[in-house]
Amino acid sequence: MKCRMHARSAAGGNTPKPVWGSLRFMRAVEFVDGTVTIAEIADPIPEATELLVRVEGCGINGADILQAGGNYPPPVGAPVTPGLELAGVVEEVGSSCRRFGVGDRVMAVVPGGAQAERCAFDESLAMPVPDVLDGPMAGGFPEVFETAFDALFTQGGLTMGDRVCIHGAAGGVGTAATQLAVAAGATVTATVRNSEIRSKVAALGATVLDPANFVDAGPFDLILELVGAPNWPANIHALSIEGRICIIGVGAGSKVEVNLVHLMGKRAKLFASTLRARPLAQRAQVARRVEHHVLPLVDAGRITVPVADTFVLADAAAGYDRFRAGNKFGKVIIVP
Ligand SMILES: NC(=O)c1ccc[n+]([C@@H]2O[C@H](COP(=O)([O-])OP(=O)(O)OC[C@H]3O[C@@H](n4cnc5c(N)ncnc54)[C@H](OP(=O)(O)O)[C@@H]3O)[C@@H](O)[C@H]2O)c1
C-alpha cells in the first residue's frame, strides 16, 4: 500500500503541503504516547494486487492493545495505523485484481490499517461477506475465526468426537473456537472466569466451567490455550495420552514451570503460533480454508459473531477501554 502523502495530525501540526489536487483524507486511529486518538491521514492508494475498501466495521484485538503500549510494533512494511481485521465495501481495485469488483462486500485479516475509514490490502486476503452478517459483525469475524480455525484444525488436527478444552472461551477467539469445535462434532469444555457470562458460552454448545475446575472434566484430546500461565501445569494433568495443546494467547502470563517428565508420560504434542508474522501466501491460505469450511456454516446460521459492544470511530478510545476492561462476550467493534 502506498500513501498519497504523510499523515497530518488531528491537532493540525506537522501538516505537509498537498502535492496534487485530487488528494483525499480520511480519519484513522492513531496512538500518541500510548493514548488512542483520531488522526486525519491520506487515503491509501491500492497497489496492483490490492483492494481499497471503505470500512464498515473493524475489530479491536489484543495485538492492538499491545501495539498501543509500544510492545507489538507492526511488521516491516505494514501500516502504522492499528487494526488487524475489517469488513467493508470495495471502492477501488488494483490493476491485477481478478476476484472482487467495486461494490463487493469483503472482509479480511490485514497486517494493519483496519481502524480507519479506508484500508488497502492484498486481494488474496479478502473473503466475501455472507449476507447474514452486517458490517460490524463481519468486521469482527476474520481475525478470531481465522485464528481459531488454524489452531483447532490445521495445527491441532481436531476431528469428530475429540474432547476439546478451550480456555478464555468468552472472548473473541474463544467464542469462535467454541462454535467451530461444536460444529465439527467435538465435545467441548470451555473455561470462563466470569460466572455471569458462562450461560452465554454454554448456549454455543459447550459445557462451561470455572477455570479452577477443568482438570476433573478431562482428559482432553486437544486443549486450546487462550489465557496463558494460570492454566499450567494443570493443562498437562488434564491432557489425554497423545493429547495436543495449542498455545495461542498468553495475556495472563507467559512464563510457567513445566515438568518435562509429565509431558513425556502423556506423549504430548505442543503447538504454538501467531498469524500476523506469516508470509502473505500462508495468510491467504488460512483465509481460503476459512472461506471454504466456515462461511457455509455462517450462511446457514449455524455460526455467528457475538458482538459485546460497538463504538463509532470518534469514540475509539472508549472502545479500547471497553476491550481492556474484559468481562465481555465476544467482540468489541469500531464502526467508522
Ligand atoms: N497467536 C495468534 O495468532 C493470536 C491471534 C489472535 C489473538 N491472540 C491472543 O489470544 C488471546 C485471546 O484473544 P481474544 O481476541 O479472544 O481476546 P479477548 O476477547 O480479550 O478474550 C480473552 C479471554 O480470556 C479471558 N482471560 C483473560 N485473563 C484471564 C485469566 N487470568 N483467567 C481466566 N480467563 C482470563 C478473558 O476473560 P475476562 O473477560 O474475564 O478478562 C476473556 O474472556 C489474546 O491473548 C490475544 O492476544 C493470538
Q: Residues lining ligand 1, judged by CB closer than 6 Å?
A: 61-63, 143-144, 147, 168, 170-174, 193-194, 211, 226-227, 230, 248-249, 251-252, 273-275, 326-328
Q: What does the radius of gyration of the chain's CA atoms come to, in whole angstroms?
A: 20
Q: Contact at 8 Å (CB) between 290 and 296?
A: no
Same domain as 165, residue 134: no
* Furthest CA-CA distance within the chain: 69
What angle, rounded to 10 degrees, do the helices at 142-149 and 172-183 form? 50
pLDDT digits (tens, 9 = 90+) for 141-178: 999 999 999 999 999 999 999 999 999 999 999 999 99
Tell me the CATH number at 115: 3.90.180.10
pLDDT digits (tens, 9 = 90+) for 169-205: 999 999 999 999 999 999 999 999 999 999 999 999 9
Among candidate residues 218, 250, 272, the one where a domain is terminated: 272
Among candidate residues 272, 297, 315, the one where a domain is terminated: 272
Same domain as 154, residue 265: yes
**Domain assignment present for 325:** yes
Tell me the CATH number at 199: 3.40.50.720
Same domain as 265, residue 158: yes
pLDDT digits (tens, 9 = 90+) for 217-231: 999 999 999 999 999
Same domain as 149, residue 101: no
pLDDT digits (tens, 9 = 90+) for 232-252: 999 999 999 999 999 999 999
Instruction: Give the N- to C-terminal CA distance of the chain in Å, as an integer.
Output: 20
Read off the C-alpha cell for 115.
481502524
Same domain as 248, residue 163: yes
- How would residue 4 be classed by pLDDT, with cut points 50, 70 and 90? low
Identify which of 60, 61, 286 to mutate to test ligand 1's pocket (most ligand atoms within 8 A of the CB).
61
**Domain assignment present for 201:** yes
**Domain assignment present for 7:** yes
The reported pLDDT for the residue numbered 72 is: 86
Domain count, the chain: 2
**Domain assignment present for 282:** no
Q: What number does the ligand 1 atom closest to the CA of 62 have?
A: 47
**Domain assignment present for 328:** yes
Q: Contact at 8 Å (CB) between 235 and 223?
A: yes
Same domain as 124, residue 84: yes
What's the gap in Å between 318 CA and the centre of ligand 1? 19
**Domain assignment present for 98:** yes
Same domain as 260, residue 203: yes
Per-residue pLDDT for 259 more than 60?
Answer: yes
The reported pLDDT for the residue numbered 13 is: 34
Same domain as 225, residue 94: no
Same domain as 226, residue 135: no
Same domain as 186, residue 110: no
- How would residue 23 be classed by pLDDT, with cut points 50, 70 and 90? confident
Lowest-confidence segment of 12-26, 104-118, 275-289, 309-323 by average pLDDT: 12-26
**Domain assignment present for 289:** no
Same domain as 21, residue 137: yes
Per-residue pLDDT for 61 more than 70?
Answer: yes
The reported pLDDT for the residue numbered 71 is: 87
Same domain as 135, residue 87: yes
The reported pLDDT for the residue numbered 10 is: 39
The fraction of the chain above a pLDDT of 90, given in percent, is 89
Domain containing residue 34: 2-141+305-335
The reported pLDDT for the residue numbered 8 is: 43
Q: CA 327, CA 105: separation in Å to the nearest integer? A: 31
The reported pLDDT for the residue numbered 21 is: 52
Task: Report which of residues 274 and 73 the model is more confident about.
Answer: 274
